Structure formats: structure tokens, C-alpha cells
Structure 1
Amino acid sequence: MVHLQAWSFKDSPLPGMFTDMDYELEEDKLGIPTVPGTVTLKKDAQNLIGISIGGGAQYCPCLYIVQVFDNTPAALDGTLAAGDEITGVNGKPVKGKTKVEVAKMIQTVQGEAVIHYNKLQADPKQGKSLDIVLKKVKHRLVENLSSGTADALGLSRAILCNDGLVKKLEELEKTAELYKGLMEHSKRLLRAFFELSQTHRAFGDVFSVIGVREPQAAASEAFVKFAEAHRNIEKYGIQLLKTIKPMLHDLNTYLHKAIPDTRLTIRKYLDVKFEYLSYCLKVKEMDDEEYSCIALGEPLYRVSTGNYEYRLILRCRQEARARFAKMRKDVLEKIELLDQKHVQDIVFQLQRFVSGMSLYYDECYAVLKEADVFPIEVDLSRTTISYSGQSQSYEDEEEEEEEGVGDSREGGVSTGQAENGAEKLIDDEIGKIIVFFSEVQKVTVYWDATHKAVLLKEGVLEKEGDAYGYYNDSLLTTGWGVLEIRAGYGKTPETDDITYFLAGYLEGYLTAQQMYDYFTNMYPQVITDPKTLVAVKNFMIKQDAWAREQVKLNKSSDPLWRHVGFLLAQMDGLQAGMSDWAKRMGQKPLTQFAVQFLNAIGDLLDLIPALVPGARVNLMKEPPMGHCSALIKMLPGYENLLFAHSSWYTYAATLRIFKHWDFKVTEAHTATGKLSFSSYPGSLVSMDDFYLLGSGLMMTQTTNNIFNSSLFDHITPASLFAWQRVRVAHALAHTGPEWGQVFSKFNSGTYNNQYMVLDMSKVFLGSSIDDGALTIVEQIPGLVEYSDQTQALRRGYWPSYNVPFHRKIYLLSGYGQLWKKYGNNFSYDLCPRAKIFRRDQASVTDLASLKHIMRYNDYKHDPYSEGNACESICCRNDLVQKHASPGGCYDTKVTDFSMAHKFVSEALNGPTTEDGLPPFSWDQFNSTLHQGLPRIYNYTFIPMQPLMFTPSIPVTPENSRVTSDY
């Protein structure tokens, strides 16, 4: 038999109703088209095809499907759906028949039933009316009410409102509170252990001093023994912190990722459920309306004209039910997996905690058991006199090795300074107690000239080392990792080549894991077509071979090639350090090409279209977003100079490291070996760029596109990449014009940018600005042009926004053609960012207002943005209406005149949240690789300052009036 609707009418008319309609109304399809078709359904064992039928004589001119039941022939076939009209059965028309008659026609057929139908081509959006939305609100309200309260308010609770999954959500909240409590308790406990370890360390220091100065042999030996015991206890405590830190990380992941993800899924499920309930309620109301009209003997217009509105709601109910069933299945599976993980994980974490504590106490007991002699024969009065309060605090050699104590005159830092500096790098949210010891990695390396090998010591900063430094892996907590390296200051003088090699080795070893992650994320962003790879590799092999050959031929006579040689040695060291780390970790090292790739990402943006014609920009299609915004601002009375840059590119590139280098270079023409800059793992340049240099120069840039593809013919492997020429110019240039002159040599024509070089020695705050203070350098294939634009600085500001300034560069690049085709978006003076900078730069008076303008994006209200989230100072391409992608403005760096003299800046990583924009989350763009990156970006500016070296930039009274709190 065929299922009928829950409500049915007798075949005979109700009293008072006419039996024969003396007129026939035209069908009102509400603009919904229908498509005829035929389907053959094989009946099941109960002789059913699995549909219920509505409509038909004598009230409705057509018969239609009310519901397709699950796991029936009709449902498995999938052709018929709720709302479809039945026009015939087994070749016989059904017009004018009742639904009971049609049901009998289907029942009498044995084996297979042939159904002729008109498929309702309904858009579910047509059925989602205001009434449905209000019903969803009602269901959501009732969900949170008790039955008694709902009854008192006259609200009925649908059966699905008594949903066990809602109780699961409540249990999930309780579990979250449990984990939150565990996290807080663990942090407090580890804080206590950290302070206890510091106490043991202080005891060790004091006992060591007493032991060394104590004249009595037995007492001296006992004190030294006690000192060693306390130092060992301190080391065991630190090891305990390192052991338990992963537990906090795992708990944090469960609390802030797994639980919120499940909570979000349940809320999505509830939304789908309420929508399904709303359609069910709507169907019930329409059924009641139809029944009431029949009882009163009054024909209902929608029924008499084909009941298309009702059929549309039936279709919407069926599709909502399918979504509801699928979402419920997904939620049940996710909750089951989460429950299993909770049970297993909590046991595992407690076992880890207990094991770590047990080992700690066993080791402490063993140490104290050995140190059981106390020097009671010490002459306290004599000892007290010998320990004069006027003497300097004692630090033995072992302590210096462990903490990297250095003479401040040689750029070192004291133990206290190193610890205090490191504390600045710690983010309170994950606990200051563990970050310094488990996320700040310290390494010192020595060069073994006899065996031509690197000797590495982990966990120490030794000023006698040929290179030493630290890496603070704080990306997930502050948005930035921080790397600082000093090289060339060891006891044994080394050649500059070795100094650079060891600096590279140290960086490769310290940041190897980040290099892996960065390569994983960026490779698919840059090499989008496998066919590109062969051409790129061949070019880079030839370029590298050419550069090395030129170094051999010219380093004895040309300082430029000497420094190119230093740079290549640093890159070789980078790969060697990364490879040694990989071998120790049992991983496969990155290839030489991978290391070259990480440094040449910017150059590849132009090299790939040059090598692969298919990758070139099509002028018939509007180009993509720009790359970077920059602003140099001089206050009206020359009170201060402000300097800022915001990077634009794929958000996959947000694995950021701020680097501080201090290389002692003996090459006679060297301008500086000190620099601080924003950068990336495995990159020996900034690429943004944002540099503070020991020569007194500051540099930043924004990228210009090449729309004239004929310029790519100038590109040859017999050249130096832009990243190489930038580094050489930094090393050799004392002034802006010198920088442009060095940079213009051996132009590769790749990574074509506008560089802004600011010479701080030409700026006298409150007084004057000498010519040569601001040099603008622009590159295209075959040409580098630079000029003095100090006059713009005197007028107040210099903006940069991916449009060339020099007319010749502008026209040769092809911007003139795009201006004719697309208008002012490609005008230097009238593109959106030019207008916004011109309008708003006057409000920039300090660091706070500088940060605001560099993060500015009010695209919904700013007339110059015209509703485009990328036509502003800090683009959000993930928010554009069409073809959104995870890219845009993803960082900002700022500094001022006084700060720059001290290598100090402030930096923020992540897409802008200014002007009410939501923080970016990878949840909507999971298909883009983002290994090692935060899930959500909602960071603030943090200070960046080297801890191990002091500024060497000359500061005169005239140009140091502005001071900062750094």
C-alpha cells in the first residue's frame, strides 16, 4: 500500500460543500517551474514504494508527494522528492482522481511501478520566509526553557527540543571548566617550582662563593659540595618544567581547540535542527488551515490553484530534514571521539605529571643524600670579615659559561640582564615559569680550524664562543619568534667567511623546525604549477654557480664580491646547521634548493613569470592586490621622525621571526655588521623589508609589479638576486646614495621594489634635515633608478603603496597602460591608498597614531575604499565579497628616531582588526597549508630590542631630543 498523509478526508463531501466545481481556477505556480519525467520503482517486500500522497479531487487539481520515507525504494532511487506532482501511474493519467484512488492504482501493480511526475524545480531560499525565521527564534527560545515555564508562557515544546545533545553540550562546558582548573592549578604549581629552583640556584651561588674563599680545606670542600648539590637540584627542577610543559600544551589544545570546535559544531547542529522544526511547524499550520476551510465548506485558494506554496514548504522540510540527520550523525561521532580522548588524555597527563614529579624527588633525594656534611668548624667571625660588602659579587667560570656573562664594554650582558631581558620575551598567558627554559633555546658554537668542524654547546651563551645566540619560540603566544646572534667576538679571531658561516650555522640549528614549517607552507603558494619547478631549479643552480665563480675571481680586488662571498658562506652555514639539527632529530634535512627557495621567495615572484610565459600578468584581466604599505612621517616642527611598514602577502607567510644580528667584520670597507629586522625562518634577509642598521641607515620597501612582460627578457642567471644585493648594500653603504649605487650593480630584475633608505645622520630634530636624508631607489629588469627625495620629508611625509614614483620606472613597468584601462587605481597620485595617506597623515603625531594608520581599514565606510577590503592601508583579502582568500596585510612594524638609534621597534603579527574588523581565523581557509601557525590572530604590538649588543649608531645632542621608554 501507499502511505497517506496523517490527516485524510472521507471520499464523500462534507455537508454543505458543492460536489462539482462549476468553474476551474488556473494554476498559481508562484514562479516555480516544473519539469516532466518518468521513473520506474521496484517495490519492496511489503509491496510499497515509500511515498505518501496529498492533494487530488475534489479540492486540489493535482496530486503531489507529501513525504518520501527513509530506506524505501523511492528514497534509495532519489528521483522523487516532496512537492513533486504525480501525473500518471503505469501510463494512466491521474488527473481528477483522489489520492486514495491513486494509492490503489500503485498498490495493484506488482513488481514495479512506473510513476509519471512533474519535478518541482524549487529554490529552498523561496521557502525561507520571515515566518520561518521567527519560528526558528521561537524554537531557540523554547530550547532554553523548562516545560513548566514554556507551558506558562503558552509555548509548546517540540519533541526534538528534548534533545540529549544539548545535555552533551552542558557536559562539555563542565569538562572545559575541569580542564581550565587543571591548567590554572598546574601553572601555579609550576610557578612555585620555578621559584624553588631559583632559590636553590641562589643557594648554590652563595655556597660556591663561600667555598672558593673559605681558607679551611674541609669547610671549603663542604661548601663547594653543597653548592653543586643545589645547582643540581635547580637543574632537575628545570628539567621537570620541561617535562611537564607538553602537558600544559596538550591541555591547552584540548581546552582551546577541541572543545570550542565541538561546541561550534553542536551550535551549527542546533541551528539546522531549529530550521527543520520550523518547517515541520509550518506544514502543520498549513494542514490545519486546509482542514478548517474544508470543515467550513470554503475552498482555499492555494489548494484550488495547485497548492504550490504548500508543496514548496514540503520540499524545504525534506531538505532540512536531510541536513538535520547528517549534522546529528556528525555531532554524535565528534562527541564520542572527544569523550574517548578526554578519558584517555586525562589519565595520560596525570601519569606524565606523577612520573615527572617522582623522578624529580628521586633525583633530589639522591643529591641531598650525598651532600650530608656541613662545615660546622667554620670561623664565622673571620669569614664574615673577609667577605667585605664593598667587594664585587663573584661569578665563577662555570656560571659565566651557563649564562653567557660578558663585559658590557664588549656588548655582553650580565646574568641578571640576560634573565630580565628574556623575561620581556615571555607571554603571561602560557606561564612565565616555563617559557624561558623550554621555548628560549641558547646555543654557542666554536670553530675547530684543525678539523674544519663546528663544535656546538647547547643551553649556554658563552662570550668566548665564535658565535652564540638564542631563539625564543614565542610565535603562538606573542605573534613573533625572536632570534639574536653575535658572531666574531670569540677569543680566537676567525676570518670573516668563518664568522658568517658560523652565524648561519647557529641560525639554521636554532630555527630548523620553523624552516621546515615555513617551506611546507610557502612552497605551494609560490610553485603553483609543477612544470615551473624544473625551470626555477635550473635558473637558481646557474645563478648560484655564477655568483660563486665571481667571488673566486674578484674577492681579492672588489669589496662587493668579498661581501657576496660572506653572504654565500652564511647561507652554506644555514643549511649545515639545519642539516645537523635534522640528523639529531632523525629527520630528512631540507635540500640546498629549499634553503635557496626560502631566501629567494621575493625574487621568485618575478622570476617565475619570466621563465614561464603562461604565468605572466594578463593586461586584459585586472591584476591582484598590491604588496605592502609604508609611511615615513616627519612631525611639523621636526620634533620626531616616525617610520613604519605593513606587509601584504599570503597569510601562510605569517611564521615570523624578528632578528637581531651583531657580526664583527674585519673587512675594511664594511659599514656595519649590526642590524635588526623583521624576517622569516631560513631567510637571511627581511623580505618585508624593515631594517634598522648599525650604519645609521633605516630601510623599508613596497613591491611594484611588472606589467610590461617584455622587460623579463633582461633577466639572466649572470646577476645577483635582489635579496643578495640588499644585504651587500646594507654592509657597504654609509649613505642613501651609496646604498642605491651598490644595489644597482648586477641587477637581476627580480623582486622589483621601491626602496626607501633613510639616513639618520642627516636628520637633526627640531632644527633641520640635510639633503641625502631620504633616498628612493626603484628597480625594474634592466634599470635601477634612485634619487634624493629629502624635500618630501621636509614637507611632512613620504608614503609608499605599490605604485612606482619615478616616471621612467612607472611607464616602463606598464602602469601607464593599466591606468588607461582601469583608471586611478594605478595612478601614483590618486590610487586609494595615496588618497587615504594624504587625508589622514596629518593626524599621525606619535607611535599610537602611527600604528593606527598603518593598521587602518574602514572599507565599509571609507569612500576611498569603495567597499573593497583591499583598497585600504591594511588589506583584508579574506573579507572581500568575491573570491576571498587568506591574504592581505598581515603585520606592522613601527619605530621612531630615538628608538631606531637603539635598534628598538614595535611589531605586530596578523591581519588587522582595526575599525571593528574580526580577527582572522584559519577555520574558514583550512585548505591552505598553515603548519606551525596560530589558529586565530588577535595579537598586540610587542617591543623588539636586542639584548646582547649595544647600539653603535652615533647620537648627537642635536638629533637625540626625543626619548622613548626603551
Structure 2
Amino acid sequence: MTAVAQQTAPGSSLPDPMEPEAFTQVTFHLLTSNISVIGNYSVKMHYNPVPGDIPNILAVMIYNKSSDEFGWDFVQVTANEELVNSNEDKGFRAYYAAGYLEAYIAAKRIAQIYISQGLTTPQPQAVLDWVERHIAYMNSKATENMRAGYPNPFWTQVGNLLAQIEGMAAGYNVSLVERGLIGPSQPNLTFTDFFLLNFNNELSEVYNLLNVSSSDMAATSTKQRTTRSQSSPDKLLPFKNRNLHCSALVKVTDEDIFFSHDSWNSYSSMMRQYKVYKFQTTVSMSGAAGTIASGDDWYITSNNLAVQETTNDFYNASLLEYVVPESVSEFLRAMVATFLANNGREWVELFQFNNSGTYCNQWMVLDYKMYTPGAVGDALPDNLLWVAEQIPGNVTSADVTQTLRETSYWASYNIPYSPVSLLVPG
């Protein structure tokens, strides 16, 4: 599988054509000689305006490398519409190609994120074994669904998202070779490495389950770290290294409805990207290089859904029996629901399927196509705002629009809403 970067703007000069100057918007195309085959790719770069007659485009990426000046890079990846809607593989090749192109272009950023998050530290073998079983389970279910003719949209989308990560791993490593970037600051990364980058927020529960001591732990996300003390009672996880740092608000005014999220973190996590994925649904989100989900989390979709969460911790060690590898990762379930759901009820129903019990959050889903500007109180329709709260073994969900009617707002700050999510975790 080869990719060749071609700088096509006459008279332009960049030290690395994949690293545009700040605020220089560049468009990249992933091309192939045969659109039905994965492989034999080439990557071509164009400064705007982009030529209109380019054949066999698998994916298009618009990249504005502006984080040093503005705080955010801008990334937009558009998959080939024919492949996204293909009856042959239901989008598998489209997602793979989109991941390949994104990681090929953003390879340096991905390496920076991977190193700054401490993921070069080897994971304990027990953790790697659990993660590999987890990946194998999801791959097997997606493959079964494919062989049966894609009857289940949930597993179809899980397969597509795993293909996107697989494409990222391939594109990243090809980019390192072709651009001469291999070295300590740009290590080769496997599919599992990319999966762990996306799964990083969920590792805490796996560490607790496997009773991994802090001295054995790799550096996990600072968003949520809770480890089991060797001296603690078996049935209680200690209040230790707790770092829950999100707050969110949905606010109705006399003129509009506002949907806001605040997340603060270490400096090592500040290389951010505002991403737009244009697949079967357009999803805009805060994110980072190498990840296919937000992680904060904050999303806006072309189905007029606004989705966000704040994290809830748990201390009842007996719940760890529900953290099993035969499940679907939280970040994948969130993305499946975000791509497929048309309303809040559909989102929570998709999200709660195959609950992994990892990275337990309160999710808010605002269906803003149901909102009429100026509507307040009893004029707000049912199903405007849904909430889903995950703990290991259970997801509790409800239409909480009545709270908006009564108080004009919904506030979320790492404290569960439902009695089950509040009392059972301890």
C-alpha cells in the first residue's frame, strides 16, 4: 500500500507539504486506481481553489494547522458518498479510507499526542490481554453481521469505526516511511496502539478490574483515574486520584436554547482539533489527532442532535464483575449512536447496547430540531432533552424535558441524576 504526496500549487513552498503553515487551508485527496479495492493509494494536495475533475476520490480532507496560534487545528474529512452508501460493504471501505487519509496527513500531530499522553509506556500484560480479547469480540460480532448480510445497523457501524481505526494505523505508518519521519519522536504504531489512544479514558476500570497497582500502570488519561488500593476493602474502591473535570449546561432563554460544555485538563492534552466527519451523517466535535471520538465529549450532528457528557465515578467494587471484554467500548457506542440516531430516544437505545461499564458518564442528547425559538415552559415538547447514565451493568435513561420546563436549564457536573446511578456505585 503506497501513498505519494504531491504538492500541486505552482510557486508554493513548504518544508513539508503535509504540514501547512498556520491558517493556510489545504485540501488533500486520497486517490486509487480502482475504487473497489483497498490499496494502491496516492495522496494529492491542493491549495484552494481545488480542481473540479479528479477521478476515483476515496476521501477528501481539509486541514488548517492553526493550533499554535488559535488553540485548535481544523480537520474535515469527507468520505466517498458512493462507498458510504455501498450495498456491498455498507461503508467499510469509506471509513477505512477516511482514517487512512486523516492519519497520513496528521502523522506528526498523532505522534505528539501519543507521546504526550504517556502511551509509549508499555501496558501491563494483563491489561493488553483484556484489550485484545475486547477487540477480538467486537471484530467477531462485526464479521458475523457482515457474513449475514449486514442485518444489524449497530454492528455494521461498529465494524466501520474499527475499520476507520485500522485505516488510521495503516496511513500513519505509511506516512512515516514515505516522509522519512521514523524516529523516537514518531514511533511506529499498531492498530492496538491506535485503539488504546481512543480507549484511554476507559482504562481506569480495566486497571481496577485486574487489580493493577499504580506502579504497574501506564499513564492513563488525566480525565479519570481511580485505582484500587491493595489495602482497601474488596467491596470499596478508594477515593484516589479522582479527577473529574467536566461541567455542562443546557439553558432555555426567551429567545434561544444554549448547549455548552466545559472541560479542563493538563497541558499535555492541549493539542486540540475541531473535527468534522462527513460520512452518512455529518458529525462535528472537539477532538484530537488520532482519535475518532471526542473524548470530552461534545458533538453536533446533521440530524440536529447536540450530544455531550460529564463523567461519573463509582466506588462499589462489586460492579467490576460487569466490566467484561465481551462488550463494546464506550467511545464506540457513543459514536455508533451519534452517527445513527435521529432523536434522543434512539441515541440512548443504541448507546446502552453491549455496555462495557468503562468510562461511566451522564450523557445529554438535545434534539434541537424539536425546539421552536421563543418556546419556554410548557411550550417545550416532550423528548427535547434525553439523559443516559452508565454504570457497569446498567444504563439508566429518561426524557428530562420536564426539568427544562420547570427550571429553564439542565446542569451537569459529575454527579448522577438517577437514584440507581447515584446510590448503586457507592
TM-score bin, normalised by smaller chain: 0.7 to 0.9
Q: Distance in 1 between matches of 2:425 and 2:366?
A: 25
How do 1:276-675 residues align onto structure 2 when only pairs under 5 Å count?
435-437=22-24, 440-447=25-32, 448-449=34-35, 452-460=38-46, 461=50, 464=54, 465-489=57-81, 495=89, 496-523=91-118, 532-555=123-146, 556-586=150-180, 587=182, 588-612=187-211, 614=213, 615-616=227-228, 624-635=242-253, 637=254, 639-663=255-279, 665=280, 673-675=281-283
The answer on whether the counterparts of 1:505 and 1:578 sit within 8 Å (CA) in structure 2 is yes
CA deviation after TM superposition for structure 1 residue 449, in Å: 4.4
| Pair 490,445 (structure 1): closer, same or farther in 2 beyond 3 Å | farther
Deviations, residues 212-270 of structure 1 (Å, cap 9, x unaligned): xxxxxxxxxxxxxxxxxxxx9x822x22xx3599xxxxxxxxxxxxxxxxxxxxxxxxx
Q: Distance in 1 between matches of 2:346 and 2:81?
A: 28
Q: Distance in 2 between matches of 1:712 and 1:613?
A: 13
| Pair 454,699 (structure 1): closer, same or farther in 2 beyond 3 Å | farther
Q: Distance in 1 between matches of 2:158 and 2:330?
A: 12
CA deviation after TM superposition for structure 1 residue 620, in Å: 6.0
| Pair 806,462 (structure 1): closer, same or farther in 2 beyond 3 Å | farther
CA deviation after TM superposition for structure 1 residue 470, in Å: 1.9
Match of 1:827 in 2: none
| Pair 653,435 (structure 1): closer, same or farther in 2 beyond 3 Å | closer
The answer on whether the counterparts of 1:470 and 1:510 sit within 8 Å (CA) in structure 2 is no
Q: TM-score, normalised by structure 2?
A: 0.82
The answer on whether the counterparts of 1:657 and 1:680 sit within 8 Å (CA) in structure 2 is yes
Match of 1:408 in 2: none
CA deviation after TM superposition for structure 1 residue 487, in Å: 1.0
The answer on whether the counterparts of 1:444 and 1:462 sit within 8 Å (CA) in structure 2 is no
Match of 2:10 in 1: 235
Identity %: 30
Matched residue SS, 2:277? strand
CA deviation after TM superposition for structure 1 residue 793, in Å: 1.5
Q: Distance in 2 between matches of 1:621 and 1:435?
A: 43
CA deviation after TM superposition for structure 1 residue 493, in Å: 7.7
| Pair 491,751 (structure 1): closer, same or farther in 2 beyond 3 Å | closer
CA deviation after TM superposition for structure 1 residue 503, in Å: 0.9
CA deviation after TM superposition for structure 1 residue 652, in Å: 1.2
Aligned AA for 1:679? G
CA deviation after TM superposition for structure 1 residue 748, in Å: 0.3
Deviations, residues 157-181 of structure 1 (Å, cap 9, x unaligned): xxxxxxxxxxxxxxxxxxxxxxxxx
| Pair 808,486 (structure 1): closer, same or farther in 2 beyond 3 Å | same
CA deviation after TM superposition for structure 1 residue 435, in Å: 3.5
Match of 1:678 in 2: 286
Q: Distance in 2 between matches of 1:444 and 1:694?
A: 23
| Pair 520,626 (structure 1): closer, same or farther in 2 beyond 3 Å | same
Larger Rg, first or second structure (1 or 2): 1
The answer on whether the counterparts of 2:276 and 2:284 sit within 8 Å (CA) in structure 1 is yes
The answer on whether the counterparts of 1:583 and 1:589 sit within 8 Å (CA) in structure 2 is no
The answer on whether the counterparts of 2:145 and 2:155 sit within 8 Å (CA) in structure 1 is yes
CA deviation after TM superposition for structure 1 residue 686, in Å: 0.4
Deviations, residues 592-650 of structure 1 (Å, cap 9, x unaligned): 22201111111113222222254326666566342211111111x2x111111111333
Match of 1:708 in 2: 316
Deviations, residues 117-139 of structure 1 (Å, cap 9, x unaligned): xxxxxxxxxxxxxxxxxxxxxxx
Matched residue SS, 1:565? helix
CA deviation after TM superposition for structure 1 residue 559, in Å: 1.2
Q: Distance in 2 between matches of 1:700 and 1:720?
A: 19
| Pair 551,650 (structure 1): closer, same or farther in 2 beyond 3 Å | same
Matched residue SS, 2:81? coil
1:766 aligns with 2:382: no
Matched residue SS, 1:549? helix
| Pair 535,648 (structure 1): closer, same or farther in 2 beyond 3 Å | farther
Matched residue SS, 2:117? helix
The answer on whether the counterparts of 2:131 and 2:325 sit within 8 Å (CA) in structure 1 is yes
How do 1:161-200 residues align onto structure 2 when only pairs under 5 Å count?
none
| Pair 474,661 (structure 1): closer, same or farther in 2 beyond 3 Å | same
Deviations, residues 467-514 of structure 1 (Å, cap 9, x unaligned): 111221111111111101111236998551111111111111121111
The answer on whether the counterparts of 1:697 and 1:758 sit within 8 Å (CA) in structure 2 is yes
Match of 2:414 in 1: 802
Q: Distance in 1 between matches of 2:335 and 2:267?
A: 25
The answer on whether the counterparts of 1:698 and 1:759 sit within 8 Å (CA) in structure 2 is yes
Q: Distance in 2 between matches of 1:593 and 1:725?
A: 18
| Pair 490,746 (structure 1): closer, same or farther in 2 beyond 3 Å | closer
The answer on whether the counterparts of 2:83 and 2:93 sit within 8 Å (CA) in structure 1 is no
Match of 1:401 in 2: none
Q: Distance in 2 between matches of 1:455 and 1:620?
A: 51
CA deviation after TM superposition for structure 1 residue 456, in Å: 2.0
Report the number of matched residues. Answer: 376
| Pair 459,535 (structure 1): closer, same or farther in 2 beyond 3 Å | same
Q: Distance in 2 between matches of 1:623 and 1:693?
A: 34
Deviations, residues 926-947 of structure 1 (Å, cap 9, x unaligned): xxxxxxxxxxxxxxxxxxxxxx
- Structure number with higher strand proportion: 2
Deviations, residues 331-375 of structure 1 (Å, cap 9, x unaligned): xxxxxxxxxxxxxxxxxxxxxxxxxxxxxxxxxxxxxxxxxxxxx
Match of 2:296 in 1: 688
The answer on whether the counterparts of 2:38 and 2:93 sit within 8 Å (CA) in structure 1 is no
CA RMSD of aligned residues (A): 2.5
CA deviation after TM superposition for structure 1 residue 590, in Å: 1.3
Matched residue SS, 1:686? coil
CA deviation after TM superposition for structure 1 residue 533, in Å: 2.3
Give the structure, 1 or 2, with the largest relative contact order (CA under 8 Å, sep 6 or more): 2
Q: Distance in 1 between matches of 2:16 and 2:155?
A: 50
1:753 aligns with 2:361: yes
Match of 1:697 in 2: 305
Gaps of 5+ in 2: 1-7, 214-226
The answer on whether the counterparts of 1:466 and 1:490 sit within 8 Å (CA) in structure 2 is no
The answer on whether the counterparts of 1:467 and 1:490 sit within 8 Å (CA) in structure 2 is no
| Pair 774,520 (structure 1): closer, same or farther in 2 beyond 3 Å | same
Matched residue SS, 1:695? coil
Deviations, residues 75-114 of structure 1 (Å, cap 9, x unaligned): xxxxxxxxxxxxxxxxxxxxxxxxxxxxxxxxxxxxxxxx
Matched residue SS, 2:115? helix
Matched residue SS, 1:453? coil
Q: Distance in 2 between matches of 1:244 and 1:564?
A: 35
Matched residue SS, 1:764? coil
